[in-house]
């Protein structure tokens, strides 16, 4: 008989009150409303969907991890991502590593082989404890059903407390279908920072005194300000103590860039045409530098050449290991928001007359440097050339975005275009970039996660054609899950940063940096999204408007000049302003 295989029937969930159900109930208790997954571990997702937790389905685990990352950065809640054991688990390494570097809490729930199959070369068995050890704060394999709540709560507590970061829980497949324990815990640990330690009060008072007396104090704020939700407090400090504030790329938006005391983003992209190019002298003259949530990494400090060598450093960070890493500093170990609040308080009865007197000339100087910097880039920002200058694209985007917009960039030039030529209009506005490891392809999924976290915001994503090639498939995710972002694709036909950096460093580039022409707009349409192609700068405004009005994710492919590069200082050695 030629039997036809019939689809397997689905008679309803056959397993009840399993460990997977205990986990789902725990997730609900921690305020989890969505989990980024692809059906695995199956029992876990069946239980989660039954409990009303939305599964945001990804196409690749890489992308799922970045979605969870973007979600966490915007929501203030840890991103939960799931994966199968073996190959799927290995694909979580990049997003976990990114999150570890930039202190974003992620909780990876990863299936493992059944407990009685351990170390027998079971199918897709892998040493996940070793795999995740260097890219998480903490990884554990749960083997006792009765301990599931303990481990789940510890995962949330570790991810969200101290310096936030990613954790992984390994869940043997057979454990998930075992009977789950009754719940005994009540706490919601699903938000960060979970605890807010404040720095020593005496040191805070001494620092306030030193700032009040400094000749030329300066604040350089990093991504820790956003992680802590401390933008309002930093703005208050800027205003009360009349302090100039620059930010790192990760810290962009920590203060309003319209504020007369804001320098914008400072670091390794202050070459010709940079929006903060002429602020360098002010930074070099500082006699006191207050670092807030700033890792003093290579790009932020322009290879440790930008910050003044002889200044006194004061460093606020929740991680004691970051304080004094590269600049010996007075230690203010604490949560940024609480410690800034304490510092503002400490200024209450202090004589700030010197700072007040300095403010006028300081604002004039910063304003003049800002005007000169913008003037330098005027020609490329209004350029009518085709192929299009990316600076012109940024100018068009700047025109349509608002204080509520979120802008996400992929690695490579995109991160530098957005941080240089878009302005943070209010303290706390978010510009997301994958600056932990600067991995290509991560921008678009991060933008999807950001939109899930804040559906009412317009989310723009800027990506290069090389990076976007890693994640084309997530266009289908965006369509299927109803996640709308406006994706601006800079098609310059090359791996731009790669090619240009090779030219600068070696005087030549390899054969890998040029692409065969790709019709990205057609790819978007094929996946059910809107796809538009723009070749003339005069068409950008209409395309942006159409993309913003679309019901679905809309990709605007912008054919750009392959000889355009952002103001990376090492491209133009000796060109210091």
Ligand X SMILES: Cc1ncc(C[n+]2csc(CCOP(=O)(O)OP(=O)(O)O)c2C)c(N)n1
Measured from the CB atom, the residue of 26 and 464 that comes closer to ligand X is 464
Helix/strand/coil for 141: strand
Which among 227, 241, 239 has a CA at the least distance from the CA of 293?
227
Measured from the CB atom, the residue of 411 and 555 that comes closer to ligand X is 411
- For CA atoms 287, 293, 299, 300, the dihedral sign is negative
Contact region for Mg ion (CB under 5 A) — 266-274, 349-357, 463-471, 480-488? 463-471
Q: What is the DSSP pairing of strand 530-534 with strand 486-491?
A: unpaired
- Answer with the entry of Mg ion, ligand X, none that 440 interacts with (C-beta below 5 to 8 A by kind): ligand X
441 counts as binding Mg ion under rule CB under 5 A: no
465 counts as binding Mg ion under rule CB under 5 A: yes
557 counts as binding Mg ion under rule CB under 5 A: no
Residues 6+ apart with CB under 8 A from 35: 27, 45, 48, 53, 54, 55, 56, 80, 81, 82, 109
Minimum separation from the CB atom of position 518 to Mg ion (A):
11
Minimum separation from the CB atom of position 388 to ligand X (A):
13
- Answer with the entry of ligand X, Mg ion, none that 439 interacts with (C-beta below 5 to 8 A by kind): ligand X
- Answer with the entry of ligand X, Mg ion, none that 524 interacts with (C-beta below 5 to 8 A by kind): none
410 counts as binding Mg ion under rule CB under 5 A: no
# of chain residues touching Mg ion (CB under 5 A): 5
C-beta separation of 521 from 533 below 8 A: yes
Measured from the CB atom, the residue of 465 and 474 that comes closer to Mg ion is 465
H-helix segments, 382-468? 390-400, 413-421, 443-453, 465-468
C-beta separation of 358 from 365 below 8 A: no
Measured from the CB atom, the residue of 235 and 447 that comes closer to ligand X is 447
443 counts as binding Mg ion under rule CB under 5 A: no
- Answer with the entry of ligand X, Mg ion, none that 224 interacts with (C-beta below 5 to 8 A by kind): none
Measured from the CB atom, the residue of 16 and 514 that comes closer to Mg ion is 514
If residue 56 lies in a helix (H) or strand (E), which one and from where to where? Answer: strand 54-57
- Answer with the entry of Mg ion, ligand X, none that 104 interacts with (C-beta below 5 to 8 A by kind): none
Measured from the CB atom, the residue of 216 and 438 that comes closer to ligand X is 438
Rounded Cα distance, 572 and 370, in Å: 20
Minimum separation from the CB atom of position 503 to Mg ion (A):
14
Measured from the CB atom, the residue of 495 and 534 that comes closer to ligand X is 495
Rounded to the nearest 10°, the torsion over CA 335, 337, 338, 341 is: 150
Burial (CB < 10 A; 0-12, 13-18, 19+), residue 187, is exposed
Measured from the CB atom, the residue of 336 and 393 that comes closer to ligand X is 393
- For CA atoms 156, 157, 160, 165, the dihedral sign is negative
Scan residues 487-526 and list those touching Mg ion (CB under 5 A): 492, 496
Measured from the CB atom, the residue of 244 and 496 that comes closer to Mg ion is 496
- Answer with the entry of Mg ion, ligand X, none that 443 interacts with (C-beta below 5 to 8 A by kind): none
Q: Which of 246, 264, 464, 566 binds Mg ion (CB under 5 A)?
A: 464
334 counts as binding Mg ion under rule CB under 5 A: no
Measured from the CB atom, the residue of 300 and 496 that comes closer to Mg ion is 496
Which among 332, 341, 348 has a CA at the least distance from the CA of 293?
332
Minimum separation from the CB atom of position 564 to ligand X (A):
9
467 counts as binding Mg ion under rule CB under 5 A: no
- Answer with the entry of ligand X, Mg ion, none that 467 interacts with (C-beta below 5 to 8 A by kind): ligand X
Minimum separation from the CB atom of position 442 to ligand X (A):
8
Rounded Cα distance, 336 and 197, in Å: 9
Measured from the CB atom, the residue of 257 and 465 that comes closer to ligand X is 465
Look-up: residue for tokens 């394999």? 141
Minimum separation from the CB atom of position 60 to Mg ion (A):
21
511 DSSP 8-state letter: G
- Answer with the entry of ligand X, Mg ion, none that 498 interacts with (C-beta below 5 to 8 A by kind): ligand X
DSSP 299-335: TTTTTTTSS-TTSEEEEEES-TTTTTSSS-EEEEES-
Rounded Cα distance, 560 and 489, in Å: 9
Rounded Cα distance, 48 and 67, in Å: 18
Rounded Cα distance, 537 and 392, in Å: 7
- Answer with the entry of Mg ion, ligand X, none that 431 interacts with (C-beta below 5 to 8 A by kind): none
Minimum separation from the CB atom of position 108 to Mg ion (A):
31
466 counts as binding Mg ion under rule CB under 5 A: yes
Q: Of all residues in this chain, which one has the CB nearest to ligand X in the complex? A: 464
- Answer with the entry of Mg ion, ligand X, none that 293 interacts with (C-beta below 5 to 8 A by kind): none
Binding site for ligand X (CB under 6 A): 411-414, 438-440, 464-467, 490, 492, 494-498
Minimum separation from the CB atom of position 410 to ligand X (A):
6
C-beta separation of 436 from 100 below 8 A: yes
Look-up: residue for tokens 């399993």? 18
Residues that bind Mg ion (CB under 5 A): 464-466, 492, 496
């Amino acid at each position: 008989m030629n039997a036809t295989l019939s689809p397997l029937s689905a008679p309803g969930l056959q397993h009840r009150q399993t460990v997977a159900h205990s986990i789902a109930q725990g997730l609900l208790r921690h305020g989890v409303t969505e989990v980024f997954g692809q059906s695995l571990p199956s029992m876990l997702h069946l239980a989660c969907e039954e409990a009303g937790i939305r599964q945001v389905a990804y196409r690749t685990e890489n992308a799922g991890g970045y979605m969870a990352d973007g979600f966490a950065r915007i929501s203030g809640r840890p991103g939960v991502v799931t994966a199968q054991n073996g190959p799927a688990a290995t694909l979580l390494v990049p997003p976990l590593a990114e999150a570890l570097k930039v202190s974003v809490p992620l909780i990876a729930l990863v299936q493992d082989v059944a407990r009685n199959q351990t170390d027998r070369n079971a199918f897709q068995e892998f040493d996940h404890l070793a795999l995740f050890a260097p890219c998480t704060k903490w990884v554990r394999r749960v083997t006792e059903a009765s301990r599931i709540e303990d481990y789940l709560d510890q995962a949330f507590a570790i991810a969200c407390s101290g310096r936030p970061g990613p954790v992984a829980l390994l869940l043997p497949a057979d454990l998930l279908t075992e009977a789950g324990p009754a719940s005994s815990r009540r706490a919601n640990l699903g938000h960060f920072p979970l605890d807010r330690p404040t720095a020593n009060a005496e040191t805070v008072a001494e620092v306030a005194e030193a700032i009040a007396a400094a000749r030329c104090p300066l604040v350089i704020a990093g991504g820790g300000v956003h992680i802590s939700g401390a933008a309002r407090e930093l703005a208050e400090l800027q205003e009360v103590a009349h302090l100039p504030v620059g930010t790192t790329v990760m810290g962009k938006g920590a203060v309003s860039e319209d504020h007369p005391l804001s320098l914008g983003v400072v670091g390794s992209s202050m070459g010709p045409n940079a929006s903060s190019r002429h602020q360098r002298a002010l930074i070099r003259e500082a006699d006191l530098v207050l670092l807030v949530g700033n890792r003093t990494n290579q790009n932020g400090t322009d290879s440790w050449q930008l910050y003044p060598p002889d200044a006194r450093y004061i460093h606020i960070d929740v991680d004691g290991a970051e304080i004094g890493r590269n600049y010996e500093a007075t230690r203010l170990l604490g949560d940024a928001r609480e410690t800034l609040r304490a510092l503002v308080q400490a200024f209450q009865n202090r004589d700030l007359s010197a700072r007040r007197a300095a403010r006028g000339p300081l604002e004039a100087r910063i304003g003049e440097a800002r005007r000169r910097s913008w003037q330098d880039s005027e020609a490329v920002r209004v350029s009518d050339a085709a192929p299009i200058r990316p600076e012109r694209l940024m100018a068009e985007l700047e025109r349509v975005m608002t204080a509520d917009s979120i802008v996400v960039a992929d690695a490579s030039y995109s991160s530098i275009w957005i941080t240089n030529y878009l302005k943070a209009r209010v303290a706390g506005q978010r510009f997301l970039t994958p600056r932990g490891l600067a991995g290509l392809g991560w921008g678009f999924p991060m933008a999807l996660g950001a939109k899930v976290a804040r559906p009412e915001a317009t989310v723009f994503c800027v990506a290069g054609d090389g990076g976007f090639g890693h994640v084309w498939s997530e266009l289908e995710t965006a369509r299927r899950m109803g996640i709308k972002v406006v994706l601006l694709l800079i098609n310059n036909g090359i791996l731009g940063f790669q090619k240009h950096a090779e030219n600068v460093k070696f005087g030549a580039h390899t054969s890998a940096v040029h692409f065969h022409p790709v019709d990205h707009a057609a790819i978007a349409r094929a996946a059910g999204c809107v796809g538009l192609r723009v070749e003339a700068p005069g068409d950008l405004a209409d395309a942006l408007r159409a993309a913003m009005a679309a019901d679905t994710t809309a990709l605007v492919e912008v054919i750009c000049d392959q000889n355009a590069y952002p103001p990376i200082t090492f491209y133009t050695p000796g060109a210091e302003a």
